[in-house]
Each structure stands twice: as structure tokens, then as C-alpha cells.
Amino acid sequence: MGVFDRLKQGLQKTRKGFVERLESVFKGRTIDEETLEELEEILISSDVGVKATGEILGYLREKEAEIRKTGSAREFLKAEMTALLGVSERLVVYGNKPFVILAVGVNGVGKTTTIGKLASRFTSEGMSVVIAASDTFRAAAIEQLQIWANRSGAQFVKHQSGSDPAAVAFDAVEAAVHRGADVVIIDTAGRLHTKSHLMEELKKVRRVINKAMPGAPHEVLLVVDATTGQNALRQAMMFDAAIGITGIALAKLDGTAKGGIVFAIKKELGIPVRLIGIGEGIEDLRDFDPKEFVEALFSS
């Protein structure tokens, strides 16, 4: 199966639950207030968000005469949704070694798996990677991360369970500097039931990383679970307010019919979606390409 076909397959639920419903609104009908109201309902219920929905509807109203003339609302809709997502802003390793990625997100979103797949990608590209287990509160998280490090050929830095997360992050960055490693990926805890404590802890981890290497972390990557819809958006807002998010990895996109959350995140927050998870395999963590994404959504 080709790369594009894998993407199409991964987005099957979203396509059926979202795009097929959108297209059914326009089938054999002209554009009028009634069809636009139906469209609005579908967009909102698919987690596209109020801002993005308003923009899409505004564009279609503006192009109403052209749409009626060509009879192709689908193409106009596709073009606007692509424009809404903007250009591709992939995760790129740059600058002095090591490139430090701080991975954050609540427990259960697929953070550890995303880190493991990302490490595998970097090592397969010939880079040396250090993974740091700064989620020291869950022994299971450290073990799971160790398995991924072994599988991907990454070096692994951990302390005892319950130790200071910032100390692990500091040691990992220092070790990476001394060893001349290319990339450091730091896992963190995500216990939202102690929200203020968690955010203070993350701020400390961030400060300590910067002490170990001025200018780091170079990427603060928030992993969110696409199946949680608007909740993912709320998490992004909260983490961004606390520590400043530079990119988003949207996991489990293959498991939801509400993939519209991609549009909400872009429009409401302006934070780029860097990566999407569309399946279980290592190769199913994909760079997010807006044009390719919309193309796959609208492909039959």
C-alpha cells in the first residue's frame, strides 16, 4: 500500500463521519441559507470549531454566485479547507546539537508511543537520539519508554521512580551534549488531576533544560488524542498558556469520525500541527501536510 493510500485508510472514519456528510448536503442542491445551516451543524458537530466554521461559511457565501454557476460546491469547500490549514510546518531538526524536544500532554493520549515512533524515525535517518524518562511518577511509563528506546536504537536516560523529573531532563541534555547526540526527546508526566502542580513542574523542567543548554528546548511538542475532540483543544490552550507550545502531534486520528479538530486547533490557537498518528505502525506517525490531508479526506 502506497503512502497516500495509508493516509486515506487512516482517515477513513473521519472521511465517513465528516466529509461524506458535508458532501451529502450539496448533492443535487444549490447553495442557499438552508444548505449552509445544515453545513454549519455538521462542521460544529465534527469539532471544526466556531471560528473555522464561521470562516468556511463566510467564504461559501462570498462565492455563492460562482458555486451556482459551476455547480461544484465540493471543490470550493475543499479549496477553503486547504487554505484554512495553511502551509506545512513539519518538525525539522535544526541548529546546534542536540536538538531538544520537550514532549508534553495528559496521560493516555499516546505520548510515549509518539515519542518512540519519533525516535525510530530519527535513528532511521542516521541521527543519534537520547530519550529521557522524566515521567518519574509512573514506573510503567519508564518501562514502556525503555522498550521504545531499545527498539529504536536510542540511548536512554532514567532515574529511580519518584525522583525529580527536572534532574532527569538536565542529565539527559548534558549527556547528549557530551556524547554529541543529534536529538534529545524528553517525556514528561501528565497527571491533570493535579493541574497546577503539573504545570509548575513542567515550567521547572523547561527552565532546567535551558540551564543545561541555553536556547533549549527547541520544540515543545504537545501530544493530544484526536478522539477527544474539543477536549484536545482545551488541553492545548492550557498547556500553551503555561509553557508555550510550539507544535502539536495529533495522535489516534485513525480512531475518530471527528477529525475536524485539526481545523479547530489551527484556527483557534494558531499552533502548527506537526505530526499526525494514523495507525499503529512506526510509519503511521506522519508529517502533517495540509494539502495532502484534505486531498485524502475528499478522496473516494
User: What pLDDT, in 10s, does the model give residues 155-180?
Assistant: 999 999 889 999 999 999 999 999 99
CATH, residue 249? 3.40.50.300
Are both 134 and 278 inside the same structural domain? yes
pLDDT at 137: 87
Are both 19 and 158 inside the same structural domain? no
Peptide bond into 290 cis (omega under 30): no
Q: Write the DSSP assignment of 155-183 as a string of letters.
A: EEE---TTS-HHHHHHHHHHHHHHHT-SE
Where does a domain end: 85, 119, 151? 85
Are both 250 and 175 inside the same structural domain? yes
Residue 169's domain spans which residues?
99-289
* One-letter amino acid of 18: F
Q: Quick: pLDDT tens for 3-49.
A: 788 888 888 888 888 888 888 888 877 788 898 999 999 999 888 99
Q: Are 8 and 299 in contact (CB under 8 A)?
A: yes
The total of structural domains in the chain comes to 2
What's the rounded Cα separation, in Å, for the pair 134 and 149?
Answer: 14
Q: Quick: pLDDT tens for 210-256.
A: 999 999 999 999 999 988 888 888 999 999 999 999 999 999 988 88
CATH, residue 40? 1.20.120.140
Are both 162 and 62 inside the same structural domain? no
Q: Quick: pLDDT tens for 103-161.
A: 999 998 999 999 999 999 999 999 999 999 999 988 888 999 999 999 999 999 999 98
